[in-house]
């Protein structure tokens, strides 16, 4: 049976304290056919900077603006 792509959609707002751990949890899964789309609702903390760091090192992580 062929397995398909799993999309993990993660909404966030001012979650700089937790977003790195959230992304790393998805990356640690054994199933490799995934993409993670992070939807930031105009955070005023440094959530975007943290997400951008992960985007540059893993093409499976994307943001939606």
Q: What is the pLDDT of residue 65?
A: 67
Q: Would the pLDDT of 1 be above 90?
A: no
Let me know: does 22 contact 10? Beta carbons within 8 Å: yes
CA–CA gap between residue 6 and residue 1 (Å, rounded): 15
Q: Name the nearest CA neighbour of 6 among 29, 35, 28, 38.
A: 35
Half-sphere exposure of residue 23, counting CA atoms within 13 Å on the CB side? 27
The residue extents of the domains of the chain are 6-64
Looking up tokens 């966030």 gives 12
Q: pLDDT, tens digit, for every residue of 5-63? A: 999 999 999 999 999 999 999 999 999 999 999 999 999 999 999 999 999 999 999 99
pLDDT-derived band at 64, boundaries 50, 70, 90: confident
CA–CA gap between residue 49 and residue 5 (Å, rounded): 26
């Amino acid at each position: 049976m062929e397995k398909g792509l799993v999309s993990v959609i993660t909404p966030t707002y001012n979650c700089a304290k937790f977003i790195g751990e959230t992304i790393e949890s998805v990356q640690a899964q054994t199933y490799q056919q995934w993409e993670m789309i992070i939807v930031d609702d105009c955070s005023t903390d440094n959530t975007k900077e943290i997400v951008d760091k992960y985007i540059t090192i893993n093409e499976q992580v994307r943001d939606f603006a």
